[in-house]
Amino acid sequence: MKKIAVVLSGSGFLDGAEIQESVITMLALDRAGVSYQCMAPDMEQMHVVNHFTGDVAQGEQRNVLVEAARIARTQIIDIAEANPSDFDAVIFPGGYGAAKNLSNFAVKGSASEVQADVLQFARSFAATGKPMGFVCISPAMIPHIYGADAKLTIGSDADTAAAINEMGGIHINCPVDDFVVDEERNLVSTPAYMLDMRISEVATGIEKLVNKIIEMIHGK
């Protein structure tokens, strides 16, 4: 059976993984008969956000791996211990955690860096040529992983797209229910909640991304 790594960044879209995007990804994989392994870095979050008020919870701290276990129902591993050769593809759901914990794009924009364990795993996997999928804001990490000229989308936000292009990526505008493919790199991305859309429309785009990743695994 094929196995896909799902890289989470906490729990909750303002400071971790976008829960709906993460669950839609896992549901689409399971419905396709593909097993998956959730993983996350064992690190402290950049900060904790009160998802009721939208304010930073001053003085509070949480661990990315521990929080991501909420979504994974405890079936999760530290990404530092993950072996790229064990997986046929990797998918990164979105949420601000991808730009605050997996990277610091939310703070540094085009001068951002990817967290060391995440970068090592992602670059090692990319070197295999096997498919990788990125959802929502997580494509902002692609230039760090693949280098210049990788094709990707975060939807149509001009400022974010400009920062990605400055990093060496090639941003392509895309609607919520579609995806962008870089055939040379076996790389797929979809906007999801980077666009203010309904959950059903977000699900359509993510499901298409998942199906495309599975097609790539089978060489179609």
Please tell me which residue in 71, 89, 136, 181 is annotated as part of the active site.
136
What confidence category does residue 52 fall into, taking pLDDT thresholds of 50, 70 and 90? very high
User: What is the domain-level CATH number for residue 71?
Assistant: 3.40.50.880
What values do phi and psi take at 188, rounded to 5? -130, 140
180-182/187-190 β-pairing:
antiparallel
Burial code (b: 16+ CB inside 10 Å, e: under 16) for 174-202 equals: bbbbebbbbeebbbbbbbbbbbebeeebb
Write down the pLDDT at residue 220: 64
Q: Mean per-residue pLDDT for 64-81?
A: 96
Is the model's pLDDT at 1 over the cut of 80?
no
Active-site residue, 136 included: yes
Residue 217 is which amino acid?
A: I
Is the model's pLDDT at 186 over the cut of 80?
yes
Surface-to-core class of residue 106, CB atoms within 10 Å of its CB (0-12 exposed, 13-18 middle, 19+ buried): middle
Residue 126's domain comprises 3-217
Average per-residue pLDDT for the chain: 97
Structurally, the chain folds into a number of domains equal to: 1
pLDDT digit string, tens, across residues 122-162: 999 999 999 999 999 999 999 999 999 999 999 999 999 99
pTM over 0.95? The answer is yes
